[in-house]
Amino acid sequence: MPQQVTPGYYPLQTDDVRDAIMAACRDPRCNGKVVAAGGSAGASHAAYCAATGTLGLDRFDAAVCLSGAYDFGDALRRNFKTDVQNYVNTTDVTKLHAASPVTFVTDSISPSFLVATNNDPMPFEQLPDMVDALQSAGAADYQQLLITEPNGPDGLTRHAFDYWSDVKNHAIAFLNNRLATP
């Protein structure tokens, strides 16, 4: 697919991800299942596209989300607030929340594996926000993993794919279990 040049504001990036899902589903090498493993903003897109769209067309069959932003209206740290306001192109908290993956969670969300560290540069509250949304919606097929480690010199712990080696086998097992052919 040719790269589209756009300002990149919501929902254009999630539309790009959705286009990639559709392309993968049409690819004869695909077995009809499309999954994602995303970190940081990629985790947000993976969660969003696990909660929206149609399976077999433009929705992930399962998602692994590392250090994701799930509720853009929950801007507790300045850098997070600036980033999500830029992404959605607004400072309106109502519009920020409306663009958030948590807003789209239903009981039919695709299986999701959520991972974060205890003092992740992504505000920690993002993990419980997503778990609360999953529980409130009655979503049954999700797992969460919190990695607890000592803070680094900057006072933070690792972020997103910096801890992939610690969770890779768990993520692969999660995906294999969800996508196994009966």
Over residues 97-149, the pLDDT tens digits come to 999 999 999 999 999 999 999 999 999 899 999 999 999 999 999 999 999 99
CA distances from 166 to 58, 82, 153, 161, 163 (A): 30, 30, 20, 10, 5
Residue 27 lies inside a defined structural domain of this protein: yes
Structural domain count of the chain:
1
pTM above 0.85, yes or no: yes
Residue 3 lies inside a defined structural domain of this protein: no
Full residue range of the structural domain in which residue 142 is found: 12-179
Q: What is the mean pLDDT of the segment spanning 22-39?
A: 93
Convert the pLDDT of each residue in 54-64 to its tens digit.
Answer: 999 999 999 99
Percentage with pLDDT > 90 across the chain: 80
